[in-house]
Amino acid sequence: MQSPLQIQTSLKENILDSENQNIKMQIENLSIFYRDFRAVANVSMTIYAKKIVAIIGPSGCGKSTLLRSFNRMNDLVSGSHIEGQVYLDGEPLYERNVDVVDVRRRIGMVFQRPNPFPKSIYDNVAYGPRLYGVNRKSDLDEIVERSLKQAALWDEVKNKLHQSGLSISGGQQQRLCIARAIAVQPEVILMDEPASALDPISTLKIEELMHEIVKDYTIIIVTHNMQQAARVSNYTAMMMIDEQRAGRMIEFNDTNIIFTNPKDKRTEDYVTGRFG
Amino acid sequence: MNAELHKDQSSFGARVRNAWQHGDRLYRLLLTVAALLVMILVIGIGYELWQNSALSRQAFGWKFLITSDWDPALNETFGALPFILGTLITSFIALLAAIPLGIGTAIFLAELAPDWLREPLGFLVELLAAVPSVVYGLWGLFVYIPVFVRPSAEFLNKSLGFLPLFEGPVFGPSRLAAGLLLAIMVFPTITAISRDVFRAIPNSQREAAMAMGATRWEMIYQVLIPYGTSGLLGAIILGLGRALGETIAVTMVIGNNLDLSASLLRPGYTMASIIANEFTEATFDLYLNALIEIGLILFAMTLLINIIARLLIWRVSQRTKAEVRA
């Protein structure tokens, strides 16, 4: 059996050859540790600008951990550290002089459960801009409207902008969180199973919304819903857990190839529902 | 036990279930009685205070609240104003000092302290709450006042002495001393409850703020404090309840003087300390009734404050429910 690393390298070249696109992020031989435990091992991948990348794999394979390393959210967990490097536009994120606040501004995140602040809808969306010093009412109004429109929520909430962000439905709350994330116009948006707590109709709305905003943003989504990955993503990364219980990326390719003609037997088993 | 139950149920199913239902009812009855007892106790205390202050209420009416003559020896007139003011002023000073200190410590304990420090420090805070108040009083009199309060009072008098609030002469035992000692006594209450308020805030709120690029400090004051406002208010009000009712430590350091000046640096009196000081000396009925009426006022004030605290805590739980709905 080929080692995961070899597979990735060959695939990466494959993608690079076949398509001529802007590289937004590069993950280089990244391993993530919690104290001594290696949760994610030797992941390398290239993420192209204004595409959707899905990360799939069985529960506990380190998908979320990997995603959270892209905007250094793992820093908040005590005892976590990494080896390898993550690049955004060619600049390394894990360096001593890197401003984490700036990283998180450029790489936004949407979480599994909607987590609006118990503030008004308006203040939720305006939170980020205010954080970065936008205070003029007319500017904020414009940003709030634009963000809510992009998040396909404007029509539903335009008459109740000053009601609590918690007063709307779960699906609306999640779109509010997306609006909050895009209000600061990040370059990349990370989505950690953004629809797993939502009903099918809300899920569909989130997926349509992703197709809409990918014109402007690069999106990386973790999902354990394979149909969702197939529906929304341009590229898919398949992760599995190895014998040391570390998550490894076993295949990374065009979504069509992953779902119709995967190279790895385990990917095939997983996407055809034989396990997982 | 469980296995036996199942065996029984096969043969005597109906009976066993019935017995359990009776047990249920009995248990429920016991608990209801216990709960009712609490209510009866509160109403009973209020009633006794009301009944036993009848003479004083009839003699002075509402004027009791706003007059300041406390003259049991000659004229036998009584007014509670100095004590009400003393209680309010010392409690206010206590809160002014204890709120920033207590909430700050709570933020440190819940959000910033390294893991190895959290538990020991939290334990110490809880220990502070368990120190008997007479010990606080002694410590206040012999350490706190000479080492900290008096020098601070002298400094305030020198720099701000033109304000009536900091008029001299400077005494050791004073309203300021009582207020600052109360601050230390309510500090653990405010800290412990505020810490629990912060701990109860879902982690998703912290992540949301951090992922937006907030610094830790921005996260704390823009997201956590607004999220926990009602709970923090509850903590403060419970601290206030303790400050209002505290008796022995205050009596030891306030100087017990009917002085009605606005100065914090002079000795004063509180409702709790006048009762403690004069209850055994109350030689005639009106005197005793007047003291009991002060008790009634204090009881009503603390009751009101606890009701407000309950309402605030209830509001927090309502809001948390809305969060979970997602």
Return the higher-pLDDT residue of B192 and B3: B192
Nearest residue of A to residue B115, measured between CA atoms:
A78
Q: Note the pLDDT of residue B325.
A: 41
- Judged against a pLDDT cut of 70, whether residue B17 lies above it is answered with no
Question: Kind and range of the H or E element at A44?
Answer: strand A37-48
Tell me, yes or no, whether A142 lies in a domain: yes
The DSSP result for A176-224, as a single string, is: HHHHHHHTT--SEEEEESTTTTS-HHHHHHHHHHHHHHTTT-EEEEE-S
pLDDT tens per residue across span B104-144:
999 999 999 988 999 999 999 999 989 999 999 999 999 99
Kindly determine whether residue B215 and residue A101, on different chains, have CB atoms separated by under 8 Å.
yes
From B113's Cα to the closest Cα of chain A, the distance in A is 12
Tell me, yes or no, whether A154 lies in a domain: yes
Q: Note the pLDDT of residue B16.
A: 59
Alpha-carbon span A127 to A143, nearest angstrom? 11
pLDDT tens per residue across span B249-306:
999 999 998 888 888 999 999 999 999 999 998 889 999 999 999 999 999 998 888 8
In 3D space, the residue among B232, B228, B286 whose CA is nearest the CA of residue B70 turns out to be B286
Q: Determine the angle formed by the axes of helices B285-324 and B2-52, rounding to 10 degrees.
A: 140
Residues 6+ apart with CB under 8 A from B90: B175, B178, B179, B182, B243, B250, B254, B268, B270
Mean pLDDT by 10 residues, chain A (276 residues): 47 48 89 91 92 91 91 87 92 91 92 91 94 92 94 91 90 94 94 89 89 92 90 92 88 91 88 74
Q: Note the pLDDT of residue B11.
A: 54
- Judged against a pLDDT cut of 50, whether residue B86 lies above it is answered with yes
Give the number of other CB atoms < 10 A from CB of residue A121. Answer: 28
Contacts of B205 in chain A (CB under 8 A): 115, 117
Output the six-digit token pair for B256: 């017990």
**What's the maximum distance between 2 C-alpha atoms anywhere in chain B?**
89
- Judged against a pLDDT cut of 80, whether residue B318 lies above it is answered with no
Contacts of A105 in chain B (CB under 8 A): 212-213
CATH of the domain at A266: 3.40.50.300
Q: Note the pLDDT of residue A70.
A: 93
Kindly determine whether residue B223 and residue A117, on different chains, have CB atoms separated by under 8 Å.
yes
SS3 A164: strand
A73: nearest CB among B115, B207, B218: B207
In CATH terms, the superfamily for domain B82-324 is MetI-like (1.10.3720.10)
Number of domains in chain A: 1
Indicate the domain borders of chain B.
2-52, 82-324
pLDDT tens per residue across span B203-223:
999 999 999 999 999 999 999
ipTM of predicted complex: 0.84
Tell me, yes or no, whether A276 lies in a domain: no
Q: Any idea of the CA torsion for A201, A205, A210, A215, to the nearest 10 degrees?
A: 150
Residues 6+ apart with CB under 8 A from B221: none
Query: Where in the sequence is the domain holding A211, given as residue range(s)?
Result: 4-271
Contacts of A197 in chain B (CB under 8 A): 326
B205: nearest CB among A73, A115, A174: A115
Alpha-carbon span B215 to B110, nearest angstrom? 16
- Judged against a pLDDT cut of 80, whether residue B66 lies above it is answered with yes
